[in-house]
Structure 1
Amino acid sequence: MMSKMIEPITFTVPLSFEAHEIAQQCGKQSSPKKFKQVYLNTLAVYAVDFYLRCMGFETDWPVSDSRNPLMLKLMDVADLDVKQIGKIECRPVLPDADACQIPYDAWGDRIGYVAVQLDQSLKQATLLGFTRTVAKQVPLSALNSLEDLLVYMNRIKQLKPVNLMNWFDEIFDAGWQVIDDLLNPKQLQLRSFRSNNALPIDRGQKIDLGMQLGEQSVALVVTLPPEPDSEVDIQVRVYPMGNQTYLPPGLKLMLMDESEEVIFKAESREADNFLNFEFCSDLRELFSITVGLGDVNVKQSFRL
């Protein structure tokens, strides 16, 4: 019996007028060959930037070498700076190519390389996958999936603990949004964490667990009291996002101490519209929160 081949997950981005206008501006170079190189590179970066922002990552394209006129003139680069994570290279792939070309100029200071296939009309770009392999060319068949890319980037992000004491000074790490931007009005009404009638401090982060959730993402919301004390009461909740009413059954929310010992664990049932727990943490304490489904886990470390 023949086994059914599984098509790799891709992501297609329409190349708008804005994309071509940016490419036109970046491509103002002396020779037609250089203009074409920069133009295609810029379209590839535009597509990856669009995708990563859709996935909840905060990018900073303006500070990248791919928007620096001098670097573009001297080198073949298509990098994108992702806050809290690092630089990712976005390499254009022509429609009939079977490999992703990685120039020597892009071999250093990159966490990975995303292959972006441009269609013949340059009206759309398709993210095919990524690789951490540094080579002159990487066969498209050897690329890792976009799901693997998201897991990899989240792992890098997890290594840097969020300093919750900064939240009391209204200083928030990149990627932590006001929860009004993440939750719907009905979910916002479920908030009950208050202290002396003062509003709490809360921020949320979109978490994508890839294929395990299909099109669905969840929001991790962390809530602190209005003012710090020698001990800080912390509430953690996970909500479904988008049009989803309930969390997927079997979703786990875990609290771990500095030695990775599980202190608390909650698991969603058939019709849970959120998971939550509250705990008290001492100042200068390091802990982590993990959201997991099946074999996929996303962990974020915190420090008070």
Structure 2
Amino acid sequence: MATKAILITGCSSGIGLHCALELQREGYQVLATARQTQDVDKLIELGLTAHQLDLADPASVEAGFNWAVNQAEDGIYALFNNGAYALPGALEDVTRAQLKCLFETNVFGWHQLTNLCIEHMLEHKQGRIIQNSSVLGLVAMKFRGAYNASKYAIEGLSDTLRLELRHTNIYISLIEPGPILSKFRANALMQFEQNIDVNNSRFAQTYQKMLSRLKKEGPGMAFTEGPESVLKRVRHALNAKQPQARYYVTKPTYFIGLMRRILPTKWLDQLVKNF
């Protein structure tokens, strides 16, 4: 029986890297991708089959997909969309161009790659598409609006795909992580410093507190878990006969998911206002 191939984006660090290494150890043919060529070189040094794929570049997405098809021993069985970044800051401080740039990576690139994989999976009469969303795809939190919006978009696209792919043997699953140990916060800090005009914002003082949190080493908040918690859900989505539509990860996601269902909007706003 041929080894099942899984294409993973955003493998330079954190969740993507951990899942790529562990799934390869478990016998999957992992096809790892990253945006930067130096990160691809590092992945190859770690023993992974890797290729450059920039989700913001349509030509790069198509080339990366074609590479994966050529590498896959028996077709691409699964796609794990993971590559994404955050741009912290009040929405009034985020420009149209900045929001568009974020959506190119976090949404449009995912959509293009997903559609390419769907066509391929339909030919092979099976497939798993796993979308790494977020607790911020379930509830909005201030100063996270750009990332919130991108994850809300992924939630909507995935829910629609699940309906449209019924009876095709292609399953769509959303992973909903809360705080996970990774370089995500460090990358968000870099995006903030490069894009947000702190001195000319009415939130200048608030941003100073936010910067302290972003610069903090180690877990950013209570109940932070390691990337192995995400791997556990990815593994189930890959192997289960009937994978779940959504997989919550970390206690904050379970808590927020429950409160979102039972609380009026005004009460939910009060609950998340200090996050």
Under TM normalisation by the shorter chain, which class is it? under 0.3
Provide the TM-score with structure 1 as the length reference: 0.24
The structure carrying a bigger helix percent of its residues is: 2
Structure of greater relative contact order (alpha carbons < 8 Å, 6+ residues apart): 2
